[in-house]
Amino acid sequence: MVTHPDNTRDASQDAPPAVAVKGLSFRYRALDEESPPSKKTRIAVPDSSVAGAEAKPSYAIRDISFSLAHGELLLIAGPSGCGKSTLLKCLNGLIPHTFRGELSGEIWIEGRSAAGMSLRERARYIGTMLQDPEKQIVGSTVEQEIAFGLENLNVPRAEIRRRVDAVLQRLHLESFRQEATFALSGGQRQQVAAAGVLVMQPSIFLFDEPFANLDARAIDELEELINSLRAEGRAVIIVEHRVEETLKLRPDKVLLMRDGRQVFLGDVSSFLEMADPEQVKLPIEATLRRATEPRQVVERLVRPIVTRSAGAAEAHPAEPVLVFENVHYRYEADGEEILHGISFRVGRGETIALLGPNGAGKTTLVKQALGLLRPTAGTVLLYGEDTRKLSVAQLATRIGYVFQSPSAMLFAPTVQKELSFGPENLRFPPERLQRAVQRAAEALDVARFAERSPLSLSFGQQKRVSIASVLAMESRILLLDEPTAGQDYRSYISFMEHLRELPELDALLFITHDLDLALRYTQRVLLLKDGHLVADGAPLEVLADQTLLESCNLRPTSLLRYLLTECSRSLA
């Protein structure tokens, strides 16, 4: 149980707030939007009411005001692209020092006006953990990455060693000290990014989607860290779509944003009373309380899951489109084996979730299917053919993969060109190419960004562009790595419903830490631990095993607990 820090964190009633914002507005410069000044890509204006790319873009944030005392926690929620990350950039100084545009309003940090503060000065007060760790990590090893910020501030070497050792111990990362950062899983990179912030000992911590790629154990450790920071008098601001996770920290305030404006600022109880459960993913109990027709929510959300799970055992296996036969893999001939004898079949029409702890081998596993990695032993069959005998081009026509980090995929000057790249290289005829790109853009709600640079979009918008770029290739099997990272509730429900209904899609398999996503959209769960397949079955059947969940660092959600109760009642 998470306990709220006591009031010993700041005894002074007269102390200025850790951070205060008044009337803050920002509009990105028309030529580069959110791109750094060094980027020369021309960006079109996303606002359809403005004609021509020469017009000014609309405000990314408008008239934001709040204050946060030492030891307090602020949760910032809202749809993808509503301005949450822009607000953090204003606080940590990336706006206006790196991202240029029109900035107005006032920011005070520890009682000082932020106007005129250099990035170096702000770094002494504010630490930021970015949404995408790929953009934050620069060191070649974990130790070098954590020490990087201190080295830039010319901290004495002995002090650097002491602080790095303390942070490694505090975050239970001692065994990763000399690990290469590129070899870490996405969740492990996120933990290392957090360590790089913690070692700087700022008084204000900004976390942008900190729970997105973490397993339950890492979330527990991060929550413990955040509570200890508050007890020490540090102010914490969290931007997060996984509202249920953050509410366990009992935030002092919630700021809800929409279209760049704050539509609510208040306590958690008031937030739960006004938040729209169709837009913000709330705990199931709050969703049912808010619903005008709770029975409709149960029939739409709960009953299909219970019914599907109950009938799963009777289902006959479909024609296999992807088969793993005793697959082993190690990255180096004399290195540690990562996958140990994995065997399973994916039938035509199946939607499958691949779950497991950070570092369990999930991404390594799906890369075997793509031919990006080839088994050191065993066989992967794609439509009956050994992937070792298929070229990359042959594989690309049959199976598509969306990386965990969109920055690892996006490169084209515009979203339109990004979506067209794959179909063009697969030599789609013009009419098919246009149709495929348009369908993908509409399904992922990125058509309005067609002439913008993908790099000018928010992380959540970039994620949708990366999914759309693969969807446009009309692959018959889709593999998605953390598809809902950075997505607001409405967006991810919309595109998951679309993917599930695609008639030409033979199978959908996604890696996720989101148990609710697995429950709502799959017929089957594969559970991986330490490179072993430890469970394969219907979601409720697998996730009902509390001992198994704990051993695989999976945390039950309110929806899972509710579903298990409903199943017990149905059986009774």
The CATH 3.40.50.300 domain(s) of the chain lie at 18-275, 319-398+475-572
pLDDT single digits (tens) 273-329: 888 887 888 888 888 887 666 676 766 666 667 666 655 544 546 789 999 999 999
Q: What is the rounded CA–CA span in Å between residue 43 and residue 497?
A: 31
Residue 74, both tokens: 């602020």
pLDDT single digits (tens) 113-170: 999 898 888 988 999 988 777 778 888 999 999 999 899 888 999 999 999 999 999 8
To the question of pTM greater than 0.75 for the whole model, the response is yes
In DSSP terms, 328 is beta-bridged to 377
Whether the pLDDT of residue 19 is over 90: the answer is yes
Q: What is the rounded CA–CA span in Å between residue 260 and residue 25?
A: 9
| Cβ–Cβ under 8 Å, residues 204 and 226 | no
**Phi, psi of 41, rounded to the nearest 5 degrees:** -65, 135
Where does 19-149 show beta strands of DSSP type E?
19-28, 61-68, 73-77, 101-109, 112-113, 126-129
Name the residue with tokens 């404006």.
261
pLDDT single digits (tens) 36-73: 433 332 223 333 333 333 345 689 999 999 999 999 99
Q: What is the rounded CA–CA span in Å between residue 457 and residue 463?
A: 9
Q: How many residues does the chain have?
A: 572
pLDDT at residue 569, as a whole number: 64
Whether CATH 3.40.640.10 fits 319-398+475-572: no
Amino acid letter at 331? Y
The mean of the pLDDT values for the chain is 85
Superfamily the domain 18-275 falls into = P-loop containing nucleotide triphosphate hydrolases (3.40.50.300)
Q: Radius of gyration over alpha carbons of the chain, in Å?
A: 24
Q: What is the rounded CA–CA span in Å between residue 383 and residue 460?
A: 33
**Phi, psi of 273, rounded to the nearest 5 degrees:** -80, -25
